[in-house]
Amino acid sequence: MLRLCGYNPLPMQNLSVSQVQPIRWQDNRLFLLDQRLLPAQEVELDFSDAPGVAGAIRDMVVRGAPAIGITAAYGVVLSAIQHATRQPGAWLEAVQKDIGILLESRPTAINLHWALARMSRLVQAVDRKNPVPELLREAITIHDEDRAANLRMAVYGAALLPSKATVLTHCNTGALATGGYGTALGVIRRAHAEGRLEHVYASETRPWLQGARLTAWELAKERIPVSLLVEGAAASLMQSGRIDWVIVGADRIVANGDVANKIGTYSLAVAARHHGVKFMVVAPTSTFDMNLARGGDIPIEHRPVEEITRIIQQNYQHVTGWNPVFDVTPAELIDAIVTERGVVEYPAEGGVRQLLSGSSSAAL
C-alpha cells in the first residue's frame, strides 16, 4: 500500500542539520571527515582531484550510499577544476575518464551511479570554456537536496512509530552517511525530538564496526539513549519483547521492493518477522534502481578477507574467508519503505512504481 507524502505528516518545524558534517567544500577543495578513525580521532582529509576522491570512497574514508553519491559529485567538480585549468576547451575527455574512475569505486551503492549520471549529463552541456561554476552548483544542489530529503523522511518515518518506542538499528545511517541529517537515524533523531523514543539499540556492525564506532558516537552527541549489542544478540533481544521497530537504511532498492543494505540486515529482517517486530527501510528515491527487477540482480561487493582475519589477529593456514559487504532483504519481509516522497507499506512492484512515477534511476 502506498501513502504519498501528503498523508498528514507532523510539521517539519524544529528540524536542524546535525552538528556532524562529513562532507565540506571550501576554496575549491573537498574536505572529508575520515570515518575510519572515529570515534578516537576527528580528522579531516582534503582532496584536489577525482582519483583521490575515488580512493577515499573505496577505502571507506566516506561511506553510506547518499554520502558516497554527494562525494562523487564533488569529485567531478575537482576533475573539471584540474583539467579545465590545464586544458581550456579540451578538458572533456579527461573529466569523462575521471567519472569512470569514480564510478568503479563502490559497485553496490546506486546513489553513486545516480549522482555521476546526473553530473555526466551536465558535463556534456556546460560551457566548454568554463565548466566549473555550473558543475559546482549542481554538486551543491545534490548535497542540499539530500539534506532536505532526510528531513522529510524523518517526519514520515517518525509518524509510524508508537509512543515510547524502542528501536533497533544496524550500521550507520546518520549525518555521517548522508548530506547532514540521516535516513534511518534521521527518523530516530526526529522521534527523539518529539518525545516518542524510549531507547535505541545499535548493532556493532562487523567487521568495520560502523554501529559501534559511528552510530553510537552520533547518538551520544545528540544525547539519545543508546545501547550497543553484537549482531548475534539481536534475535534474543527481539524475543525479549523490547523492540517495536527495526529501522535501517539502504544502498539500493529495486523495482519489486527488494533492498540491498549492510550485511546482517537480512538476518535482522528474518528475526523481526519471526518475533512480530516491524521492519522499516528509510532511503531517498535516489537509492531506487528501477532498471533491476529483483534483489538477485544487484551486484554485491566483496571486500578483502583480511578485514575479517585482522579482527581475530590470527594467521590461519588452510582457512579461507567470505566477506560480502551487503545482503538483500526481500520485499515481503519489509513493513514500510520511507522516502522523501512518501511511504510504501508492504512494498511490492506496483507500490514502488507508483511512488516513482514520472522518474526512474539514472544510469550511465
The cell for 120 is 555526466
| Alpha-carbon gap, residue 105 to 83, rounded angstroms | 21
| Alpha-carbon gap, residue 91 to 83, rounded angstroms | 5
DSSP 232: G
For 278, list phi and psi in degrees, rounded to 5: -70, 150
Task: Give, in degrees to the nearest 5, the angle at Cα 147 between 143 and 151.
Answer: 165
| Alpha-carbon gap, residue 70 to 175, rounded angstroms | 13
- Would you give the distance in Å from CA 150 to the centre of its chain? 11
Report the interhelical angle of 65-86 vs 50-58 (nearest 10°). Answer: 160
Residue entry with cell 532483504 = 329
Closest by CA position to 132, among listed 83, 98, 179, 99: 83
Task: Give, in degrees to the nearest 5, the angle at Cα 239 between 223 and 167.
Answer: 25
Active-site residue among 146, 251, 258, 335?
Answer: 251
Instruction: Check if 251 is active-site.
Output: yes
Q: Hey, is 200 helix, strand or coil?
A: strand
Closest by CA position to 275, among listed 300, 227, 250, 241: 241
Residues designated catalytic: 251
